[in-house]
Amino acid sequence: MKKQFFIANWKSHKTADEATQWFVEAAADIHLTKDSEREVVICPPFPLLSLCAEEVKKQQIPFAIGAQDVSSFSEGAYTGEVSGRLIKDFATYVIIGHSERRRYFHETDEMLFEKVKQAHAYGLQVVYCVDSKEGKIPEGVNIVAYEPVAAIGTGHPDDPSDAEAVAGFLKAQNGVSYVLYGGSVTAEDIANYTQLPSIDGVLVGGASLAPKDFISLIQHA
């Protein structure tokens, strides 16, 4: 069986209490058999990284932790920034270039390329987001998430054949090992994507916020 990624992007959701509750419920609900080919990653907001890293240990849940962003600067006088050096104590993955960061925070390809350098400098695995097959992918990136903007949070996922074509193109053009699909993925439609040859998993927003939905989604892949 090929390796599959199930990455939860909580975006700007959840208090500390709500995050703790998520892991308590996930631990009670989890009926996943151990599978070394399945990588599940939870990406909470920055203030919850430490708590979530503790919870997966405490609840003995075989999930990794990821950040949703990283500074393009190293440690230093950069008020409000969170550098790879700080993130690496709690997380093994980082999402870079999400369309919401590009759109609302005006992140450019140049800035994102710097972020990738920082993430790699601190040993973080990058999940690099693009919204089309034209997206530029920085060198050294091995996991790409294809997230067409029209599919994000709208309940209108991309056509699976289109997602497959983009994933195949991104692999052929850039030599990346894994391409994930993201945009309105649910338990009902996940298999339409994960069963395709060029798609290696999913990046999930809304359907990751309730543990029951997220675990059900993994089981339906």
- Return the active site residues: 98, 147
Smaller CB distance to ligand 13P: residue 84 or 205? 205
Distance CA 139, CA 5 (A): 21
Half-sphere exposure of 183 (CA within 13 A, CB side): 27
Is residue 192 involved in binding ligand 13P (CB under 6 A)?
Answer: no
Is residue 204 involved in binding ligand 13P (CB under 6 A)?
Answer: yes
In this structure, are residues 221 and 181 in contact, taking their beta carbons and an 8 Å threshold?
A: no
Smaller CB distance to ligand 13P: residue 73 or 170? 170
How many residues interact with ligand 13P (rule CB under 6 A)?
A: 14
Distance CA 208, CA 73 (A): 30
Question: Applying CB under 6 A, which of residues 127, 166, 203, 218 lies at the interface with ligand 13P?
Answer: 203
Output the smallest distance, CB 221 to ligand 13P, in A: 15
What are the helix (H) ranges across 38-187?
A: 49-58, 84-87, 99-104, 109-121, 160-174
Is residue 62 involved in binding ligand 13P (CB under 6 A)?
Answer: no
In this structure, are residues 6 and 38 in contact, taking their beta carbons and an 8 Å threshold?
A: yes
| Site for ligand 13P, residues 91 to 110, rule: CB under 6 A | 98
In this structure, are residues 26 and 10 in contact, taking their beta carbons and an 8 Å threshold?
A: no
Smaller CB distance to ligand 13P: residue 24 or 210? 210
Which residue of this chain has its Cβ atom nearest to ligand 13P in the complex?
A: 205
Partners of residue 38 on adjacent β-strands: 4
| Binding interface with ligand 13P (CB under 6 A) | 9, 98, 147, 152-153, 182-185, 203-207
